[in-house]
Amino acid sequence: MDFSAYLSGLGMGLSLIVAIGAQNAFVLRQGLRGGHVFAVCLTCALSDVALIVLGVTSFSRIAAVLPWLDPVMRFGGAAFLGFYGLKSLMSAVRSRAALDVGVANGATPLMPTLVACLAITWLNPHVYLDTVVLLGTISTQFPGREMAFALGAMTSSFGFFFSLGYGAAWLRPVFAQPTAWRILEGAIAAVMWAIAGSLVVGG
């Protein structure tokens, strides 16, 4: 394996994934709640793997064959993120509870959690822009070494999501205060709506 291409993929993957977004906010909240953290982190990382492979191997052909895909992803993703942002805002306004730092809060069943995680990932066109478009385009700079580049980007996804999900546990004492939890929910709502707005206006 070409180590320079791997490192380039690792660095580029991290530079794209660390930006605050809907997916990262979801993982952070699950980590704080202690709700199905491993399953959520694995789902996000495996989704990135699929999209990175898609970008590295098929980006140019997809863009030519499916020109209608862009508006469908943009408006469908904006609608979902707008709805999810509303749920977070209502939670911020109505909730008076604090996070129980002594017991993991995994009250939400696994399947609804994974469905929400998959929707936030696959209905967000920004994820496609980062993985399929940008990483797929950059990988062409490494002819014959595309998969080494892709492996680096995949490594960054696994490392980041699991660090974010499990590292959030260190913040649990802070979120034992009801105000801190409400601020987080409000911030998540703002992030969701900002992304949704950019999808609609930016089209």
State the burial class of residue 133 (Cβ atoms within 10 Å of its Cβ: 0-12, 13-18, 19+). Answer: middle
When divided into structural domains, the chain yields a total of 1
197 occurs within a structural domain: yes
When the pLDDT of each residue in the chain is averaged and rounded to a whole number, the result is 81
* 67 Cβ neighbours under 8 A, 6+ residues apart: none
The stretches of the chain forming alpha helices (DSSP H) are 3-17, 22-33, 37-65, 69-94, 110-122, 125-128, 136-138, 146-167, 178-201
Question: What is the model's pLDDT at position 191?
Answer: 75
What six digits make up the tokens of 123? 């209905």
100 occurs within a structural domain: no
Please state, in angstroms and rounded to a whole number, the distance separating the CA atoms of residues 21 and 41: 15
73 occurs within a structural domain: yes
pLDDT in tens, 82-113: 887 888 788 778 766 554 444 444 467 899 99
Domain of residue 23 covers: 3-95+106-202
The pair phi, psi for residue 35, each rounded to 5°, is -100, 105
Overall average pLDDT of the 16-35 stretch: 81
pLDDT > 90 fraction of the chain, expressed in percent and rounded: 26
Question: What is the model's pLDDT at position 20?
Answer: 60
More confident residue, 17 or 164: 164
101 occurs within a structural domain: no
More confident residue, 122 or 62: 122
Q: Is the pTM of this model over 0.75?
A: no
More confident residue, 28 or 17: 28
* Range in 19-28, 96-105, 114-123, 141-150 with the lowest mean pLDDT: 96-105
161 occurs within a structural domain: yes
Question: What is the model's pLDDT at position 162?
Answer: 96
Overall average pLDDT of the 21-28 stretch: 84
